[in-house]
Chains A and B, each alone.
Chain A
Amino acid sequence: MDNKERILAIVRKVSDKTTAPEPDQSLFDTGFLDSFALPDMVSELEREFGIKIPDSDLNPRKFESIERIQNYIESRM
């Protein structure tokens, strides 16, 4: 599974949805994430990719879309 697929699996898990958003679609505007699912997703990303995301990087815009999440995660790997 590539990174994008691993991220999509996490988004599906925390959103409890079976569909997939487009890579550049806002996960908030499309209803995949709300304020309370966002911290769950961040925790899952840390676990899945074995990284620690510092509080200073916890800007919701970094996690707005699959594309942005992938860019951020790969910059930390």
Chain B
Amino acid sequence: MAGIKAFGAYLPSRVVSNSELAARLDCEPGWILDVSGIEERRYAGPDESVASMGVAAARDCLDHAGMTAADVGMILVSSGSSERRFPGPASTIAHALGIGGVPAIDLPIASAGGLFGMAMAAALSAIYSNVLVIASEKMSTVAMREPLERGVAPLFGDGAGACLIAKDGAVRITDSVLHSDGAFAEDLRLDFDAPLAMNGRSVILQASRKIPSAIGELLERNKRTAQSVRVFLMHQANQNLMDRVAKALDVPADRFYTNIRRYGNTSSASMLIAAAEWWRDPGPAAGDLICFAAFGAGFHWGALLAG
């Protein structure tokens, strides 16, 4: 059984407030906060790429694991906002880390990519020992494409997260459930050279049902209850959505770690960034049950249990 060794994160330094965006979007800063729970987000600079942010998060993760890149047997990189069709950022990141020979696989599935990467890494660690999962997103380049959409543009931010999963990781990954369904693929998509397109009503409606359902499926299969979970580390899509999932599971909203107020929705990176912060303070204790969950374009969704 594989386990989690460490998390890492990287956030660009430029803070973009609601006030700055509201002026461009012809709306009130308070409206953005009300509909999303977001007060500010980070935007990468022109010299920062999906790969460069991924490298920074990977190094942070390896530092916290007390390991070097040479210890990594495989890299899985999730990004829905990489700069070109191919090659994806995985091989570039591996090269920058100085481990050009290891298999480096791209997972271009957007928001649920961090979760899918962790679940796949848990299985693949039996073969590759230490699997480094990286999720890196430069969402500002796609969310801020003209014509700007008021219901989309202010939601997103840039950043990267990473997770090292190993055969001897201390926090054991018990089980996971992953699901995909293309029935609503058109409702959240990024076409080439177009702004991000989102049918918010459909996304919220589906996510409100599918996330609690996946968590419930996972907990029931493992004979655990939502109340026995110490912390839920979920894709940071929208504060209102996280509160709704907590309500559906009948657990207090504060059981869901949240940083969306500071970073916005960083797509696939968000869950790993949230995990990196929680892991440092307060962090897991012996006996803790930790539940990860994500939902995104595709739709792809699922949950993962660790502890």
Place the interface of chain A in its size category.
Answer: 10 to 19
| Residues in B neighbouring A60, C-beta threshold 8 A | 199, 201-202, 205
A56 to chain B, nearest CB (A): 6
Contact call A39/B199, Cβ cutoff below 8 A: no
Q: A36-B244, A56-B183 are in contact. Are A42 and B205 (CB under 8 A)?
A: yes
Contacts of B202 in A (CB 8 A): 58-60
**Cross-chain contact B201 with A35 (CB below 8 angstroms):** yes
Given contact pairs A55-B210, A60-B199, A39 touches B183 in the complex (Cβ within 8 A): no
- For chain B, the count of residues having a C-beta within 8 Å of the partner chain is 15
B240 interface residue (CB < 8 Å to A): yes
The chain B residue with its CB closest to the CB of A42 is B205
Q: Which residue of A lies closest to B206 (CB)?
A: A58
Q: Is B209 an interface residue (CB 8 A)?
A: yes
B200 at the interface (CB under 8 A from A): yes
Q: Which residues of B contact A42 (CB under 8 A)?
A: 205
B19 close to chain A: CB less than 8 A: no
> How many angstroms between the C-alpha atoms of A18 and B240 in the bound complex?
24
Q: Are A28 and B205 in contact (CB under 8 A)?
A: no
- Residues of A10-61 at the interface with B, using a CB-CB cut-off of 8 Å, are 28, 35-36, 38-39, 42, 55-56, 58-60
B174 within 8 A of A: no
Tell me whether B209 and A58 are in contact (CB under 8 A): yes
Residues of A within 8 A of B199 (CB): 60
Residues of chain A with a CB closer than 8 A to B206's CB: 55, 58
Q: Does A28 lie within 8 Å of B183, measured CB to CB?
A: no
B204 within 8 A of A: yes
User: Are B200 and A39 in contact, CB atoms less than 8 angstroms apart?
Assistant: no
Expressed in whole angstroms, the minimum distance between the Cβ of A72 and any Cβ of chain B is 14
Residues 191 to 211 of chain B near chain A (Cβ within 8 Å): 199-202, 204-206, 208-210
* Residues of B that sit less than 8 Å from A by CB: 181, 183, 199-202, 204-206, 208-210, 240-241, 244
